[in-house]
Structure 1
Amino acid sequence: MKEAQGSAYEWLDNMKYSSFHTLIIVLLCLVLIFDGYDSQIVAYIMPLASKEWGLTPVMTGSLASWGFVGLMFGTAFFGFLSDRIGRKKGLVLAIAFFTIFSGSAFFAPNYSAFVALRVLAGLGMGGAMPICITMISEYSPARIRGKAVTAMYGGFTTGWILAALAAIGVIPSFGWRPVFLMGAIPILMIPLLMKYMPESVRFLASKGRHEEAIKEIRKIEKLTGQKPIDWKPEHFAITEVKYTGTIKDLFTPGLIRMTILISGTYFFNLIVVYGLASWLPTLLVQRGFSLVKSYNYGMVQAIAASVGAFFIGTLLDIFGRKRTLIAGYLIGAVSLVLFGFATSGPVLMAAGAAAGFFIIGTQTTLHVVNGETYPTHIRSTGVGFTYTIGRIGSFAAPLIGGTLLAAKVSFSLYFVIFAIPCVLCACCVAGYKTAVKGEGLEQITKTLIRNVDA
């Protein structure tokens, strides 16, 4: 065995991209495909479910909003849980939870039963998200973390595409209920994760489980063909300040500013994303498009979001986080206004694609910043907490949209109103304490703690 030339964390940050990283990205991407599918499919069944149950516009919007209530609490709970029991166990539990209750929506006899099942499914869906972000952040080489996180998260927007395809292919012939049976498919992911997904080395080391951390590194060395290194407990030492592992740590002097600003960015961003996503099919039907054609617009927007996420994620690693995110949000705001004032089908399609590319694509890359801001002891808790605050926005957005429709605002004004939070997102990002570009996770923590008064 050769001697270690630095800490285990530096070794992880400086690794060359390999089949090991591809394995992690693919597994987590598959999880998020189903997560994205389940979060978006409700938008496509809203017009039919509303007609079947005789719902008001606000009640129709709540079909999506109640799922976001579950997402909100699930994000916080499972983020906290995975900092206690581990990333792998937490992820498996979250998948099992949303699989059972998502598939059960097929049998919902009425509005009340449906929203109850959506709340329960949302707990698991919300839980999977912060754990996936945390795991990929802790294993990605520092120089390509932006690309790795956004490539993985592309699974979520791919799930949106599959939701649109399912709506186009299934709903016109078989009704809206069968699309929820597809939400039960992720149960097949659990054996794959148990066999192939490693536990986070950083998590194990943060709990003092150095022997287990070394075993995980040995697996990585073997998979990537590297010569074994003589790892010792001292290679897992960290110089970061000690945390209690509770939510109050997120509001310590070194982290409070980033916690507030990241939470604010998520909040305003998710208002836009779900104000757009939840009501787009309904708005387009009211504008004179057929139901199936409205689904096509949703699919184009989802495809653009997937491409945008990876493109903007690449720019993060080149130009840094702050400049890239600010530009993405401002261009997204302009795209949304253009969408509202579009007068022809092709222009509407192009503006909608641009809105998906920049607004949803930039929201995806925000996960990169969130995953690298917090120390290992509280990383999943921090990711979960800030995203939970954002989920308040996703809960409010469909209700805001329903209220605007009930007030009979014009198509154009609807999208102008939802462009405003994009500008507020850019304002939040402008206040971030760090402009990361290629630093290791432990170095980012040191910078935040050192610049307490910055």
Structure 2
Amino acid sequence: MQMDVNIGARLDRLPLSGFHWRLLGLIAAGMYFDSFDIYIAGTVLAAMVHSGESTLSLNATFVSVTFIGMMTGAWLSGLLGDRFGRRFCYQFNLGIYGFASIAAALAPSIYWLIFFRLVMGVGMGAEIVVGYGTLSEFIPADWRGRFGTILNLIINTSLFLSTFLGWLIVPHYGWRWMFAIAGCGALVVWFLRKSMPESPRWLASRGRADEARQIVERIETACGSTASRTSSHSANATESSTREFYSTETTEAGRLGALFSRRLLTRTITAITVLVALFTVNYAFVSWIPTFLVKQGHSVSNSLGITALMFAGGPVGSLIAFALAEHLGRKWGIVLFSLVCVGFGIAYPFAQSAVAITALGFAITCCIYVLSSFSVATYVPELFPTELRLRGSGLANTAGRAVSIVVPYAVASAFMRFGIAGVLTLIVGTLLVQALIVGVLGAETKQRSLEAIAADAGVTSVEAQEGSATAAIE
């Protein structure tokens, strides 16, 4: 069935233009402040303990409710984003996060701050699901992987900015200004995002063909491309059949339980695996490395210096992912860099000199950020059809966040019993499981339309039929 809601094919045929870069900027800005707020926690909590406003126990509660909120937000964003649309969800969650950050800046006590942090966490957990998912539905297939890695790179630079601003602001003006900066920035982005269109792919999946076609036509005009438009006769002839199809088929296909159906179960398992593995490895290594170094006999100052050099591998990893995203691909990229990271992880416990420790730590960090760029930023949203994209991504992120709550305890136990070798064994085992599952079950998605990827899973929807037809024509 040919449709003017040939939406996916028309979006994929567009030349890269200022529209796509502006969209990337607006999505990245919201996610940047989201990430910024995650990273300011260490600076803020240290200042509050120093001033007597908090204790180590209350600080732990603050960190715990952050993860609980993010886990909840990831889950809710999947339900709301697929039900009410991408535009509603990314504005709703950014508004929650922005206003909660302002409230946190005015919190009268650590107890109120913990409450507002829980609310902020809901917005932060939702943003990562909606941001990556929305971007994937607009960017042409040939560039989708690279845009995901650029977004990932932009977001991760917030670690440096939050640390630098904390160093400048907190000692002189107090911790409240950090939340004020994050909240005000988020609300400015919320206002700017009002001009962002709804995802045409999502509109088509809901049977709203008129709206989808109108938005695509506006995007085509903005990109200077009109060649992909079909005749109005063809458009009108297919709209009624599109609406009829979606009213009978997609309602069933869009239910949460469809993620565990025979056609999508392997996709769901793959998505959960890569995000559980990513969060496990990230929190097991990146978050704990300063502690490991101190325990290995390095001074605090020396350990922080080595850590800074190791973490320089983050941006390098994102750039490597950018270069390989559309050549190596996401599936085999995840498999390859999981195995490469395993090799560096096995070698790490045997490093004795500061240079060797730093070099291997740099390499491991680099691999982790390559995996982050490939998995959470690009691969997971690609695995699911439009009507289930945010539900699938939300479920995988929820599982990853849930695991991240218990990872610190597993890491601490492994370190106390077996030292750094025990922690690296946990990391290596996780990466090997990921490489096996993705290699066996994963689908390759590089330079393929989202509709064709959905068709491979046997998705019974108009978008899948369109993807198959498009592939046959080409």
For residues 104 and 279 of structure 1, do their structure 2 counterparts lie closer, same or farther at Cα, with a shift above 3 Å needed? farther
Q: C-alpha displacement at 1:55, in angstroms?
A: 2.3
Instruction: Give the C-alpha shift of residue 116 in structure 1.
Output: 2.9
How far does residue 283 in structure 1 lie from its aligned partner after superposition?
Answer: 4.5
Aligned to 1:379: 389
Q: Which moved more, 1:123-132 or 1:13-22?
A: 13-22
In structure 1, the residue matched to 2:78 is 79
Change (3 A) 1:237 1:221: same
Cα deviation for residue 61 of structure 1 reads 5.2
- Confirm or deny that 1:431 pairs with 2:429: no
User: What CA distance in whole angstroms lies between the structure 1 residues aligned with 2:105 and 2:414?
Assistant: 30
Partner of 1:194: 194
Q: Residues 299 and 131 (structure 1 numbering): CA distance in 2 closer, same or farther, change over 3 Å?
A: farther
**Match for residue 138 of structure 2?**
139
* 1:417 partner letter: L
Q: Which residue of 1 aligns with 2:282?
A: 273
Change (3 A) 1:48 1:73: same
- Structure 2: which 5+ runs fail to align? 461-474
Q: Secondary structure at the match of 1:188?
A: helix
Aligned twin of 2:56: 55
Is the CA contact (8 Å cut-off) linking 2:28 and 2:155 kept in structure 1? yes
From 324, 344, 356, the counterpart of 1:347: 356
Amino acid at match of 2:149: T
Partners of 1:420 and 1:170 in 2: CA distance: 41
For 1:259-308, what per-residue CA distance to the aligned partner results, in whole angstroms no more than 9, with x for missing partners?
022112211220121233433445555654446x7666565555532331
The percent identity for this pair of structures is 24
Answer yes or no: is 1:445 the counterpart of 2:454: yes
- Matched residue, 1:148: 147
Describe the shift of the 1:344–1:445 C-alpha distance in structure 2 as closer, same or farther (beyond 3 A). Answer: same
Seen in structure 2, the aligned counterparts of structure 1 residues 337 and 118 have a Cα distance that, compared at 3 Å, is farther
Asked if 1:11 corresponds to 2:10, the answer is: yes
Deviation at 1:77, TM superposition (A): 0.3
Matches within 5 A, 1:403-422: 403=413, 407=416, 410-411=419-420, 413-422=422-431
Q: Which runs of 5+ in 1 are unaligned?
A: none
Q: Aligned partners of 1:49 and 1:414: how far apart in 2?
A: 30
TM-score, with length taken from structure 1: 0.86
| Aligned-residue offset at 1:345 | 3.9
1:204-236 CA-to-partner distances (Å, cap 9, x unmatched) read: 112222222122112212211123734525379
Check if 1:366 corresponds to 2:367: no
Q: Note the 1:293-308 alignment, pairs <5 A.
A: 300=309, 303-308=312-317
Greater C-alpha radius of gyration: 2
What is the distance in 2 between the residues matched to 1:5 and 1:419?
49
Distance 1:343 1:172 in 2: 36
Q: 8 Å contact 1:60–1:402 — kept in the other structure?
A: no
Secondary structure of 1:437 counterpart: coil
Partner of 2:328: 319
Name the TM-score, length of structure 2 as normaliser.
0.83
- How far the C-alpha of 1:121 sits from its partner, in A, is 0.9
For the aligned residue pairs, the C-alpha RMSD in angstroms reads 3.2
Task: Return the alpha-carbon distance in structure 1 between the equivalents of residues 80 and 74 of structure 2.
Answer: 10
How far residue 5 of structure 1 moved from its aligned partner, in angstroms, is 9.1
Distance change in 2, residues 1:302/1:192 (3 Å): farther
C-alpha distance in structure 2 between counterparts of 1:69 and 1:341, whole Å: 37
How far apart are the structure 1 equivalents of 2:217 and 2:15?
16
Q: Give the C-alpha shift of residue 188 in structure 1.
A: 0.8
SS in 1 for 2:91: helix
Q: Which amino acid aligns with 1:86?
A: G
SS in 2 for 1:435: coil
The one-letter code sitting in structure 2 at the alignment partner of 1:242 is T
